[in-house]
Structure formats: structure tokens, C-alpha cells
């Protein structure tokens, strides 16, 4: 029973975030192609992995960024 609860908690946590830093720049950028904010997503990944800024700061910039002008199909 404990493993089921733990599994559900992990699943909920990993699917509830709109964007995550991932383990590497390459892995981070894999989530950008399907994002409604692809430009902001790439900037977020650079913020974390290239410039080493704090996560909260990078997330704040991402949240304030506008959505892409043209939506991908």
C-alpha cells in the first residue's frame, strides 16, 4: 500500500509542473518543442544550465514571458 501511495505522489509531482530544469541542458530543451512558450522555455533552460541562476528566478522569468505568437499544431 505504501508503494502505491508513493508511486502516485511521484507521478503527481512529475506531471503537475509546467516546466522542469531536468538533469542537463539537452534534456531540459526536449520539453520546449511542445511548449506554448517555446522561446521562454529555451531561455529558462539557458538560465538554469548556462548561467546558473537560481531556480526561482528562472521560473519567475518563464512565468512572466508571453506565450508564442503562433501556436504549433
pLDDT tens digits for range 13-52: 444 467 899 999 999 999 998 899 999 999 999 999 999 9
Judged against a pLDDT cut of 60, whether residue 68 lies above it is answered with yes
Residue among 30, 34, 64, 60 at smallest CA distance from 47: 60
Residues 37/68, Cβ–Cβ less than 8 Å: yes
Residue among 14, 44, 11, 51 at smallest CA distance from 29: 44
pTM of the model: 0.73
Domain boundaries, the chain: 19-73
Amino acid at each position: 500500500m505504501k508503494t502505491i501511495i508513493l508511486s502516485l505522489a511521484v507521478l503527481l509531482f512529475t506531471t503537475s509542473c509546467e516546466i522542469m530544469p531536468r538533469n542537463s541542458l539537452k534534456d531540459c530543451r526536449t520539453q520546449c518543442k511542445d511548449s506554448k512558450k517555446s522561446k521562454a522555455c529555451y531561455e529558462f533552460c539557458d538560465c538554469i544550465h548556462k548561467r546558473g541562476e537560481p531556480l526561482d528566478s528562472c521560473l519567475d522569468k518563464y512565468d512572466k514571458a508571453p506565450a508564442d505568437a503562433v501556436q504549433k499544431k
